[in-house]
Chains A and B, each alone.
Chain A
Amino acid sequence: MSVPTSMRQPLSLRLSSAAFLGFWCLLAAFPIFWIAVMSFKDPVDAFAANPLAVIFGPETVATGRGLSVLDILVGIAVLWGTIHLAMNRLPELVTRLTPPELLPFGWIVGALAYGIGFLIVFFGILPPVLGGLNGILGPFGAPIIGLTSEHYQAVWVENAFYENFINSLIVTAGVVTVSLTVGTLAGFGLARSGSGLAFWILIIALVFRALPHSVLVAGYLPPFINSAEILRPILGEAAPTLYGKPLAVIAVLVSINQPFTIWMLRSFFQNIPNELDEAARVDGCTHFQAFRWVIMPVMWPGVITTGLFSFLLAYNDYLVCSLLLDAQNQTMVPAIAGYFNRETTTTDQVEAVAAAVSITAPLFLLVMIFQRQIVSGLTAGAVKG
């Protein structure tokens, strides 16, 4: 594409614009990159005042924990090989082994199997093999960059962070599934109905979206704590105490998320031409049949995008989970508060950093895979106004 001379920019402008972008990218990525680096270091290194000490970790190296030249070379080679295989062989294998109608599931299974295989090779097989080789090689086997995974071990194994992880998984999976099921139906209904009622529902949903969550939780707490007594006349002895139950939190988060979900899905369904389901209705389908057989096959891009945002809401939630769940079945984000509130020693602090990085890692992967969907989701609401 040729740019007209008049639109061309002077060098100074281009340079300053590039410098600004570079600065922004540094600003955006640095804190996240930095906590990732800190989490692998000895506490003395992690909170050192000199940035080079944090990166190379002299204290960590001094205690003999670190990566040697060999480790780094082999590690990079394995990483490169993994990415290469994922780009070239994996798509081919997936398409060959799965029947075409199950392709999405084939992809999920393939990606999971590949990821687990990578984890086993990279963290299971490589360290002992390289440890043996390092002993033989002498100077090439001596550690040069400090690196220790002991904080992750402390967090995940000793402090049983996996329990919080499982709770997070339950809550997030529940919220995404339920809120998409309920939300797609409502979004479709709202998109196809031009009635005044639909408009008022959307307006009220907009008001609900703006409510601070603490206001709602103030309403949930007393009935949830006393729910066993309140529900006893209806359910008998089986009446549950809703406080502390992940299921109750799922219901709450789904509802809090509903206004946003139906607004977003409605705008996606409005982009699907009306003629599509009308044609099906002319052929004798009911609204539900039209939805099932005509709309469902084409709605996935919008649903995936909305699902991503439901996932983020549930995964990132602090307020609702910390107030409605008790300490035994806490999700990851509120659980981390326990770490940095008791951070008495620097080791505790680095363990909190490791826990924080563990929480961030899945989100990082999410952006990598779904960047396009996230961007389209962000703009979908805005462009409609």
Chain B
Amino acid sequence: MSSPATGTTAAPAGAADVVFDVRDVDYAVGGRPIFAGLSLGARRGRITAIMGPSGTGKTTLLRLLTAQIRADRGQVLAFGADLANLDTREIYAMRQRVGMLFQNGALLTDLDVFENVAFPVREHTDLPEPLIRKLVLTKLQAVGLRGAASLMPAELSGGMARRVALARAIVMDPEVLIYDEPFVGLDPISLGVIQRLIKQMNQALGITSIVVSHDVQELCSIADDTFLLSAGKVAAAGTPQELKASSAAAVRQFMTGSAEGPVPFAYPAPDYLAQLLSAEDA
């Protein structure tokens, strides 16, 4: 597969420069609103960070972007097309331009590392076997795991599994890479490796990147644009430096990671003393 848009930002006007555009979206699950009036955009060739405390619907946002779910109100545009107007075939065509890295890698457990990376190629192309071999080995080399080609996913550590998943996500040369919580549960070395890889993919291959995470420090060091989600909408947007310098209480609390602030540490509960003294255990 070719990647016509990588690097060449010969887009005509501002709108085409935004790869994913979320416009005033509402979304609710079982009557509980997740998003209310959410608007954000990911620009071509940049690393867009989407941050927010747990439970602010970051993963739900990724499901919206990849058309696994539909917005109740508002528009989600991918490559300029409204996802609500696409049929299944067109959605699959859109997804071929997008790679996604799942939190746990989501490698297919019955295939070895090589076959996992080869999977999208085999499914979508009729390339001859020697070419597939070269392609897969190149991508595995890019994540430093060419030597692990014959291992099964169960034999990999968490960090390795995520790197294999990254090789799989880029094997079809996508225009956009979406990372779901790429830093969670990694040791400092793997974390640094993943961080560097995200930056490399963006700079060397010109891949537009969307990173969803709540790891503020790791994210701020690589992001170009950041969106901070809170209460179903964007609470703050800008460069990482702008967010760090923000004086808004909610932004400050999140960026510095303090327990006190507008976002409560404790889940709502009845009065502490009254509950301890109540005769409920009689």
- Asked if A and B bind, the verdict is no
